[in-house]
Amino acid sequence: MCGLLGLLTAGADAANRVEPIADALRCARHRGPDEGATWNDHDLVLGFNRLSIIDVDHSHQPLHWGPVPGEDTRYTIVFNGEIYNYLELREELIETYDAAFATEGDGEVIVAAFHYWGPDAVQRLRGMFAFAIWDAVEREMFLARDPFGIKPMFLATTATGTAFASEKKSLLALAGELGIGLDLEPAALQHYLTLQYVPEPMSLHRMISRVESGTHVTVRPGEEPLHQRYFAPKFISLPSHAPASAEAEAIVHGEIADVLRDSVAKHMRADVTVGAFLSGGIDSTAIAALAKEHNPNLITFTTGFEREGYSEVDVAAESAAAIGVRHVVRTVKPDEMMESLPLIIWYLDDPVADPALVPLWFIAREAREHVKVVLSGEGADELFGGYSIYREPLSLAPFEKVPGTLKPIMRRASRRMPEGMRGKDLLRRGSLSLEQRYYGNARIFRDDQLHEVLRGYDPRVSHQDVTAPHYFASHDWDQVARMQHVDLFTWLRGDILVKADKMTMAHSLELRVPFLDPEVFDIASSLPQSQKITHGSNGTTKYALRRACEGIIPPHVLNRPKLGFPVPIRHWLRDEMYAWARDILQNSGAGHLIDLQAVHRMLDAHREGPVDHSRRIWAVLVFLIWHGIFVERRIVPDVPTPTYPVKI
């Protein structure tokens, strides 16, 4: 787990760019505080900050490798992530091609695989990664990002060349040097306020984009990058009205348990101490229980709040006791959130309006005092059907029989109902097709609400600009599978994985996600709808995963509903955070983008109740702080030097 930065110049003047690259690399020091280095030839400068996890004393980067032993001048790699099957791939490369390796790490394995298998090598990698390989013979750069988008990579191309980085801050630091314009992208802001994140491949800066998940890029000096998708996830579409036999179900559930156990085993590969995050739900508990099989001294970590209904601390502690692990708890208070939020947003690069990232930042800081790597349960909901919203096609089934001519009438009736009235949103959603109503797992501002607060609101910009390609690719699947597919490309990589990476790497902590493994996905994607969402008033989510975890996790967790790390901002914005929120609005220099008075009114209406505007207010506040940091330069967070004495 590390941070990379590179520039492929258009004018063969890379030697003149080394110092600016080295300077820009410093703002990503938290991603790799153990060592840093730069390397260049006449076309290319590479910079790297390393967090040493595997082959700690060797595998320094930028790393050079050549197919002829002793001649390592052809390929150079910078690599952020981990390849969990690197030992198996290494053995195969040695047996098949007599490949030679000078280190015991996974970086050389990637380069050798690329040399012998070409771009198809990325499909053989079982892990999380964002890397760049320079081929000095072909004079070509090859960039790749893992199938699910666990590790980030930003990209900017100007007349100077193509720059790429793990942190957008590094590219912003090079803006003057490379001619990167700092204009904001209005559509990205509108999408952010709708979805609570900026969807890939956009960033809020118009000239900086992101390499998409499951994509590789080739680029030569002075040429435009060529993007190619190598991973196109596919869920089978079997509503399965007739339940499978008990014997068939048992086989499937056993396969899930086996592949998850194997994934956790491989994710435990490290030359440093590995811990685990633990909430009160099935996902993290399963990961922690399986990790305990490999590390009897496993430490787990959880976070919560001193407010009833907004903490899973007690359940997590009960789970930790049942599993038999040492457990560490970090409680977060509202004044800590307010004080730390500017620094947290600085680490984010682009705003993400998910309040859960704040407690994650605190528990990551706590965990880094004990371990260097943690396992976590991200991805289980998207793969196995864990979100309650996935029940919606069942609840809206009666509306499928309503004639299309009546649905506009239903929408108009919904608009006339007061905000907060029971049934208002059900009526509205029942009048819409899946493509119209499902944005992915979050929806913050509706169009009519956006029109009131976003000064540059453009009715031509729609969430369907983001989701339409994914609906098209899944047009003949069942509705639950289509929702999962959309979430893989939107919610998962735009929110869940961004906050997981940014909040842990802020503390130089590597986070690994065993559910987001190609072999786990292969089994999860083959499940029929009946193995994900069950019918009836007692219907459940993640049915197959829950059954597979019987005997692995404590019974008190097995059928608990999902909670995660909920944050009581609805209450705090009415009380402890009210004056703080008003101050942000009053001091913001983003009034040309956001109608700050309209948000003031929203904040006051929220305080008076009963309407809950908390998520919309939070989304605006996060953007305003981001704008104050990255555009106005008025807010300057005190970024700590990454030093981590570990309590073992």
- Residue 393 pLDDT more than 50? yes
Place of tokens 């029109």: 451
Asked whether 410 and 425 are in contact (CB, 8 A), the reply is no
How do beta strands 44-50 and 63-65 pair?
unpaired
For Cα atoms 584, 587, 593, give the angle at the middle one, nearest 5 degrees.
85
pLDDT number for residue 563? 60
Q: pLDDT confidence of 536, banded at 50, 70, 90?
A: low
* CATH number of the domain bearing residue 44: 3.60.20.10
Residue at 573 is within a domain? no
Least-confidence region, from 274-288, 363-377, 387-401: 387-401
DSSP 8-state symbol, 58: S
The DSSP line for 464-526 is HHHHHHHHHHTTTS-HHHHHHHHHIIIIIIIIIHHHHHHHHHTTT-EEE-TTS-HHHHHHHTT
| Residue at 431 is within a domain | no
Active-site residue set: 2
Query: Residue 238 — very low, low, confident or very high, per pLDDT cuts 50/70/90?
Result: low
pLDDT tens for each residue of 446-458: 888 999 999 999 9
Cα 133 from chain centre: 23
Residue at token pair 């459940």? 540
Tell me whether residue 192 is in a domain.
yes
DSSP category for residue 28: G
pLDDT tens string 14-68: 999 999 999 999 999 999 999 889 999 999 999 999 998 887 878 898 999 999 8
Q: How many domains does the chain have?
A: 2
- Report if residue 610 sits inside a domain: no
DSSP β-bridge partners for residue 332:
305
Work out the percent of the chain whose per-residue pLDDT is above 70.
96
- Annotated binding residue 377: yes
Coil, strand or helix at 302? strand
pLDDT confidence of residue 246 = 79
Cα distances (Å, whole numbers) of residue 402 to 209, 310, 395, 396, 398: 42, 39, 14, 11, 7
3-state secondary structure (DSSP) of residue 389: helix
**Domain, as residue range, for 57:** 2-229
| CA 389/CA 440 separation, integer angstroms | 10
pLDDT at 240 over 80: no
Q: Is the pLDDT of residue 208 over 60?
A: yes
For residue 504, the one-letter residue type is T
Contacts of 141 (CB under 8 A, 6+ apart): 6, 8, 44, 132, 133, 134, 135, 162, 218, 219, 220
Which residues, 6 or more positions from 68, have their beta carbon under 8 angstroms from its beta carbon? none
Q: What is the CA radius of gyration of the chain?
A: 24
Same-domain pairing of 223 and 254 = no
Does 376 show up as a binding residue in the annotation?
A: yes
Angle between helices 334-348 and 614-630 in degrees, nearest 10: 50
Say whether both 185 and 273 belong to one domain: no
Only one residue has tokens 């019918």, namely 535
Which has the higher per-residue pLDDT, 558 or 323? 323
**Could you tell me how far CA 454 lies from the centroid of its own chain?**
26
Please report, rounded to a whole number, the percentage of residues in the chain having pLDDT higher than 90.
76
Q: Answer with the one of 566, 590, 607 that is the final residue of a domain.
A: 566
pLDDT confidence bin for 561, thresholds 50/70/90: low
Cα separation of the two ends of the chain: 21
Do 318 and 196 share a structural domain?
A: no
Asked if residue 331 and residue 209 are part of one domain, the reply reads: no
- Using one digit for the tens of pLDDT, what is the confidence trace for 471-483? 999 999 999 999 9
One domain for residues 63 and 199: yes
In a domain, 377, yes or no: yes
CA torsion, ordered 477, 480, 481, 487, to nearest 10 deg: 130
77-129: pLDDT as tens digits: 999 999 999 999 999 999 999 999 999 999 999 999 999 999 999 999 999 99
How many whole angstroms separate alpha carbon 585 and alpha carbon 594? 10
DSSP state of 463: T
The CA-atom distances, in angstroms, between 396 and each of 136, 344, 425, 431 are: 57, 39, 12, 9
Same domain, 256 and 223: no
Backbone angles phi, psi at 479, to 5 degrees: -65, -35
281 is in an annotated binding site: no
**pTM, rounded to two decimals:** 0.94
The two three-digit tokens of residue 635, written as one number: 């807010």
Q: Of 81-95, 129-143, 154-168, 558-572, where does mean pLDDT reach its minimum? A: 558-572
Per-residue pLDDT of 458-469, as tens digits, reads 999 999 999 999
* Digit-coded pLDDT (tens) for 617-642: 999 999 999 999 999 999 999 999 88
Domain boundary, last residue among 531, 566, 601: 566
Task: Verify that 209 and 293 share a domain, yes or no.
Answer: no
- Average pLDDT of the segment spanning 509-523: 97
Q: Give me the CATH number covering residue 546.
A: 3.40.50.620
pLDDT tens column, 32-45: 999 889 999 999 99
Same domain, 196 and 287: no
Q: Which of 70-74, 240-244, 490-494, 641-645 has the lowest mean pLDDT?
A: 240-244
Same domain? For 219 and 252 the reply is: no
165 in any annotated domain: yes
Strand pairing category for 2-9 and 44-50: antiparallel
d(Cα 430, Cα 398) in Å, to the nearest integer?
A: 9
Region 298-315: mean pLDDT is 83
Nearest CA-CA partner of 275 in 347, 359, 381, 364: 364
Identify the weakest region by mean pLDDT among 49-53, 70-74, 161-165, 524-528.
Answer: 70-74
Residue 646's pLDDT is 41
Query: What average pLDDT does the segment 425-435 reach?
Result: 85
- Nearest 5°: phi and psi at 437? -95, -25
- Residues 134, 91, single domain; the answer is yes
Give me the sheet containing 373-375, strands edge to edge.
Answer: 326-332, 299-305, 274-277, 373-375, 510-512
Residue 298 has pLDDT above 50, yes or no: yes
The C-alpha angle 475, 476, 481, rounded to 5 degrees, equals 85
Name the domain boundary from 229, 259, 291. Answer: 229
pLDDT at position 309 is 66
212 and 311 housed in the same domain: no
What 3-state class would DSSP assign to 277? Answer: strand
Could you tell me which residues are beta bridge partners of residue 64? 76
Residue 33 lies inside a defined structural domain of this protein: yes
Q: If pLDDT is split at 50, 70 and 90, which confidence band does 242 have?
A: low
**38 and 102 both lie in a single domain:** yes
In this prediction, residue 645 carries a pLDDT of: 47
Work out the mean pLDDT of the chain and round it to a whole number.
Answer: 92
pLDDT at 648: 35
Q: Which residue, 376, 154, 341, 121, is CA-closest to 264?
A: 376
Place of tokens 């890397």: 131
Q: Is residue 57 part of a domain?
A: yes
